[in-house]
């Protein structure tokens, strides 16, 4: 359309015929939902045994990272040991600095954040790393060393459609009714944190939202104004 308008302005065409075409109306997407804490706990239990997507689900649900951030996460941005002996103890953490978006940038500047890991996420990532080493040995020369945490059986990046398919199968295994999408792990994180008494401003900070208004208007399923911390709350709920 822009090219035709430019051509029309420069007298290369007599009329912009595209302006007479009525474009089809897009369909309204399904509103995102959040799982109740009991359903989330069932999903976490089922995810422990999944060889490829288990750690992905556990990490996403207990930290609230976006799906595009999880698929772009690299091992050199994961610290599973921390430094408990430092003057100010450093907990295990992930550096959320990348995404699968164009140029690898996160959605906003505030999306770049370093998050402490709940213990169940640390355990899941350690097991996942062992399984990935085994997959690398099994793949041999076919393995592609991308440095990514979550990959296919030959080391290549996970495709979003494959994640959705495996995630729905995992929800079914956990006994969760309905059709769920991986992005709703993030909504579940926000809602569970809110239900546990975390302030909306703190949730926005953990989720990497540009403002707490985003948290309230898009992710608001349950919000209560009491301040506490992210990883501690998730440990208390799901450990």
Would you give the distance in Å from CA 233 to the centre of its chain? 19
- pLDDT mean across residues, the chain: 84
228, 219, 222, 221: which is closest to 199 by C-alpha?
A: 228
Which ranges in 31-118 belong to alpha helices (H)? 37-47, 54-63, 67-72
Multiple choice CATH, 31-238, 3.40.50.740, 1.10.260.40, 1.10.443.10, 3.40.50.1370: 1.10.443.10
Catalytic annotation, pick one of 50, 52, 128, 209 = 209
Q: Compute the average pLDDT of residues 129-142.
A: 96
Catalytic annotation, pick one of 107, 112, 129, 221 = 107
| pTM of the full structure | 0.77
Assess whether pLDDT exceeds 90 at residue 132: yes
Higher-pLDDT residue of 217 and 93 is 93
Tens-place pLDDT, residues 5-52? 777 777 777 777 666 677 666 555 566 788 989 999 999 999 998 988
Answer yes or no: 173 catalytic: no
Catalytic annotation, pick one of 52, 98, 113, 186 = 186
What does the alpha-carbon distance between residue 239 and residue 123 come to, in Å, rounded to a whole number?
Answer: 11
Report whether 96 contacts 217 (CB < 8 A): no
34, 111, 41, 126: which is closest to 80 by C-alpha?
A: 126
The pLDDT of residue 88: 86
Catalytic annotation, pick one of 66, 71, 113, 187 = 66
In the chain, the percentage of residues whose pLDDT exceeds 70 is 81
The pLDDT of residue 223: 42
Residue spans of the domains in the chain: they are 31-238
Helices (H) and strands (E) in the chain, counts: 10, 3
Catalytic annotation, pick one of 56, 98, 113, 219 = 219
Q: What share of the chain is helix, strand, coil (3-state, %, to 5)?
A: 50, 5, 45
Strand ranges of the sheet holding 93-96, from the earlier edge strand across to the other edge? 78-79, 93-96, 113-116
- pLDDT band at 228; cut points 50, 70, 90: very low
Top mean pLDDT of 14-23, 126-135, 226-235 is at 126-135
Answer yes or no: 186 catalytic: yes
Q: Compute the average pLDDT of residues 110-123.
A: 89
Assess whether pLDDT exceeds 50 at residue 103: yes
Would you give the distance in Å from CA 202 to the centre of its chain? 18
The pLDDT of residue 4: 73
């Amino acid at each position: 359309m822009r090219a035709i308008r430019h051509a029309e302005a420069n007298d290369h065409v007599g009329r912009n015929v595209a302006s007479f075409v009525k474009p089809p109306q897009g369909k309204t997407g399904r509103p995102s939902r959040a799982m109740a804490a009991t359903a989330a706990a069932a999903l976490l239990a089922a995810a422990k045994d999944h060889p490829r997507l288990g750690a992905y689900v556990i990490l996403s649900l207990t930290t609230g990272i976006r799906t595009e951030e999880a698929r772009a996460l690299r091992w050199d941005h994961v610290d599973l040991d921390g430094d408990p002996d430092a003057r100010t103890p450093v907990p295990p953490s992930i550096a959320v600095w990348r995404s699968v978006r164009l140029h690898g940038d996160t959605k906003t500047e505030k999306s770049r954040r370093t998050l402490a890991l709940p213990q169940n996420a640390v355990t899941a990532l350690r097991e996942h790393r062992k399984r990935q080493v085994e997959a690398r040995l099994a793949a041999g020369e076919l393995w592609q060393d991308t440095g990514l945490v979550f990959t296919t059986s030959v080391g290549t990046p996970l495709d979003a459609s494959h994640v959705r398919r495996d995630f729905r199968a995992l929800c079914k295994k956990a006994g969760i009714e309905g059709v769920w999408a991986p992005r709703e792990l993030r909504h579940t994180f926000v809602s569970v944190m809110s239900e546990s008494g975390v302030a909306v401003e703190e949730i926005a900070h953990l989720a990497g939202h540009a403002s707490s208004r985003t948290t309230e208007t898009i992710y608001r399923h349950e919000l209560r104004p009491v301040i506490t911390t992210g990883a501690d709350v998730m440990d208390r709920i799901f450990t």
